[in-house]
A and B are shown apart, each in its own frame.
Chain A
Amino acid sequence: MLQFLIRRAFGAVLTLFLISAVTFFMFFAIPQDPALLACGKNCTPDALAVIHQNLGLDKPVPVQFWDFMVGVFAGRDFAVGHCDAPCFGVSFATQQNVWDTILDRFPLTLSLSIGGLIVFLIVGLGAGMIAAAKKGTATDKVFSSASLVLSSLQIYFLGPVVLGLFVYSTGWLDKPKWVPISESVSGWFMGLLIPWLVISVIFTANYTRMSRSTMIEQLQEEHVRAARAKGMSRSYVFFRYAWRGSLIPIVTILGMDLGALFGGAIVTEFTFGLPGIGRLAVQSVQDKDLPLTMGVMVFSAAFILLFNVIVDATYALIDPRVRLS
């Protein structure tokens, strides 16, 4: 298991390096000097030169990349002060430490993603298992049909509809807003309730369908039928034998959906006016803010890779054959 994790971690670090390099060099393919945006309307060649120097843009691109990587591990000095490791630089637009900015935005995106994930896993897997257990009944048909309809919805459509109905028209729910959990647990919960529900409605559908079909498949497996024939209770066999077997494909799509959930934070955060990593990513690209773009990209990629390693480890736990491959 340890060897498996080391292998995966090494692969993740290599991937991160490649993502960093590609993002960095792609940024310089944009035919516009990012210093111009920081230079303002009264820009002079002297002022531009100072900004180039302050931002480190006066050096060759490979040197800049090297400085960036050194900063990540050892910290760097900027005109506005020292930046401790892990240093992703100082934002061109706001002069703020990129790492601090990301850490400030991350709790929201994490809350949004994990909260949504918990809701859609509980609801989705639950609905799928019920549908599988009641295969062919009205309950199964309702759950299956609903999942088909809901999976076709999008956050940018469903979000404004829910806001219009439950916030602006009736006032039944609070408008989504970010309240750190350290400030108020209820404020945090109520502030993210609508986004979680909307995310879960959209993602739940896939899990309902997937868990239903895999459970049905598992329930027909010989070892499950043998267990029943040996006299084990229906619920014991259902959860102990069939459910465990059905988790493999679910964990597979969960691994992919985590990326989608994190990447989809852009849409979610814009739809609900929440200041998370997704919105930060868009803003950094619009501002041609290289350090912030790099920081968000690398951080998000690292997070997704971490989740993927966890998912891989979960695979290995669920199915020992994975450890051997």
Chain B
Amino acid sequence: MSIFGTRKTRAVVVALAAGSLALTACGGNSDSGTKDKSKTQEDAAQQSQAVIFGDAAASTGPAPEVPGARSGGTATVYQDSDFSHLDPGQTYVSDGKLLDRLIQRGLTQYAEDDKGRLTLVGDLATDSGKTTDGGKSWTFTLKDGLKDQNGNAITSADVRHSIERLYAPFITDGPTYVQAWLSGAGTTYRKALPDGPYKGKHLPDSVLATPDAKTVVFKFKDAHPDLPQALAMPGYSLVPAKTDTKEKYDTAPVATGPYKIAEFKPGKSMTLVKNENWDPKTDSVRHQYVDGFNIQYNHDDDDQTKTILADRGEAKNAVMFTGQVSTNQVRNVVNDPEAMKRTIQGYAPYVWQLNFNLDRMKDKKVRDAITYALPSAQIYKLDGGAYGGETATGLISPTTPGYEKDYDPFGKLKKPNGDVEKAKALIKEAGAEGQKVVYAYGNTPVRQQQAVVIADRLKAIGLDVVKKEIDSATWYEQVGKVQNGLDLYMTGWGQDWPSASTVIPPLYDGTQIQDGSSVYSHINDPKVNSEIQRILKISDPAEAQKAWTALHHDIVERINPAAPIYFTKVFQIFGSNVGGIRYSTDSSYVDVTRIFLKK
């Protein structure tokens, strides 16, 4: 998913995504004298481990008790703005995902250990799914005793309905993996059920079958070994057929998770209370320690940090969901040992990269020169420093299985501020001195500051840079056009689940190039395209991971469609009375399933 989507699909949030932290320098001690206590790759090595597929035992509730946990109290949540969607089918971004973990359930979910290692387990299903044909068909059996917030029993018909409603025209924001696998890629799948299930039509049993009230069978033309992971996305959470209100569902969803919405005032607040019809015996991951959550909007990162750092009144019970320690408060937090005990850190899955529009930037030597030249450390210093980012050496994030710490084809680890001499030599060799390049950037403060650094460096290596500022609200729409008239533009992307299969195909599969696609570089290489199709069919995760790694090398070294700039990190703080806090590899933010209040 693009980082645009992870924060919020609104202009104001693009600004947020574009820069929340910034202060400390990379590695060691910062230039401000603040000791760097940021997360290192060694700390986070578990984050990039391959996912384990859990069995029925791992999927059986209740969840293991959190040490020291007690029940009661209402946790306060500070958020910058509204959740982008409440309808599970429309939910794709991080804020929605965190809420979804509290109020919704899907067929599968991730269980996580204290080191961030993920195990995929059954959520509504008894296990993480069964396949006997290498992933061409998958069978899920529902647990006993499942009910929605109204006390209605959850059956396989509800699961079918939840999938089929994703074909309806009003569902436009959620993931499309499963629909595309069932009924055709791109937008073709919608033709299979143009009105969703609302006019009495259904997908044929040859595609989606519900032989009894507890069994759901997905049937694909090709093998899709990643289906259980895709189904853990919030976009595939359950929408009970009886209570589906179509468009209206986005403002008043029915809960299946441990909490339900008691009050929702758009732009102001949301109150969650316990869902009495959620049975902990059916859930091996979530807890229901607090009585509820009081979610307050209109608190930006700076306000959240100051309030929680002060730790007074209700802020003692406060947690951040997608907020982060703000730029100008990093030093105050890091220099306060008591406050640091109330923080969590981790790698987020996003890789910021400078895309080369391959329709226009045809000379690889020029692309390589720019990649060598970019001063990654200076660039991410403007977007969080050591607590917000780290020099990227490739296009796969440290959170993605297959990430290689030592893979550094452009020598960025030795020269995080770029290699100008080498770049100049390559530009000269290519005869590109004075070549005009149109470099586009969003009009947020962080991108504007970064644009100065990047443009200066491009000039320094002999290119004639034309800077073009674009409204951040329409950034991805504009750079996503095939005929965008641009040469260079920075985008962020992160995995949808821990696999390179949600990174490489969306970004580098040339067959998907069209207006609005995420193949921002317009790479369209036959070898890469065919390799992607081949690897997607590999059912053995280890073998697939190896193949993705090899393909990643090939893309970076043979084609170089995008210069890696920096990986992203998350740094959050919590009130002193909040317990059970830990970083979640799955959500890239706090693990909301185990929060409790100490007193």
Contact = CB atoms under 8 A, between A and B. Distances in A.
B568 interface: no
B243 to A, nearest CB: 16
Contact of B173 (A41, A95, A174): A41
B258 to A, nearest CB: 25
A174 B9 contact: no
A54 B247 contact: yes
Contacts of B250: 95
Interface string B542-569: 0000000000000000000000000000
Contacts of B90: 40
B474 A95 contact: no
Interface in B1-53: 5, 9-12
B281 interface: no
B10 A96 contact: no
Interface stretch (A215-223, A247-255, A274-282, A314-322): A274-282
Given A168-B306, A171-B310, A273-B303, A94 B82 contact: yes
A167 interface: yes
Interface in A109-137: none
A41 B313 contact: no
A94 B303 contact: no
A44 interface: yes
Interface string A162-178: 01100111010011011
B10 A287 contact: yes
Interface string A237-276: 0000000000000000000000000000000010001110
B360 interface: no
Interface string A144-164: 000000000000000000011
Contact of A168 (B176, B307, B474): B307
A273 B298 CA distance: 5
Interface stretch (B134-142, B263-271, B527-535): B263-271
B309 A168 contact: yes
A104 B173 CA distance: 28
A175 B307 contact: yes
Q: How large is the interface on A (under 10, 10 to 19, 20 to 34, 35 or more residues)?
A: 35 or more
B169 A36 contact: no
A44 B299 CA distance: 34
Interface string B459-501: 0000000000000011001000000000000000000000000
A32 interface: yes
Interface string B57-93: 0000000000000000000000001100000001010
B5 A41 contact: yes
Given A283-B12, A286-B12, A286-B473, A273 B173 contact: no
B54 interface: no
B576 to A, nearest CB: 14
Nearest to B179: A42
B312 interface: yes
B287 to A, nearest CB: 28
A253 B313 CA distance: 40
B335 interface: no
A101 B313 contact: no
B5 A47 contact: no
Contacts of A79: 247
A286 B16 CA distance: 14
A274 B92 contact: no
Given A273-B303, A287-B10, A40 B173 contact: yes
A94 B313 contact: no
A81 B10 CA distance: 25
A183 interface: no
A318 B312 CA distance: 49
A286 B11 contact: yes
A94 B12 contact: no
A95 B247 contact: yes
Interface of A: 32, 36-37, 39-44, 46-47, 50-51, 54, 79-81, 91, 93-96, 101, 104-105, 163-164, 167-169, 171, 174-175, 177-178, 269, 273-275, 279-280, 283, 286-288
28 contacts: A36-B477, A41-B172, A42-B187, A43-B172, A50-B170, A93-B10, A94-B82, A95-B247, A95-B248, A101-B267, A163-B306, A167-B310, A168-B306, A168-B310, A169-B310, A175-B313, A177-B296, A273-B298, A273-B299, A273-B300, A275-B267, A275-B297, A275-B298, A279-B267, A286-B10, A286-B12, A286-B473, A287-B10
Question: Which 9 residue pairs across A and B have the least CB separation, nearest first?
Answer: A40-B173, A40-B172, A94-B266, A275-B268, A168-B310, A47-B169, A50-B169, A286-B11, A44-B187
Given A32-B474, A286-B11, 13 more contacts: A36-B477, A37-B9, A37-B473, A44-B187, A50-B169, A94-B251, A94-B267, A95-B247, A105-B267, A163-B306, A273-B303, A283-B81, A286-B473
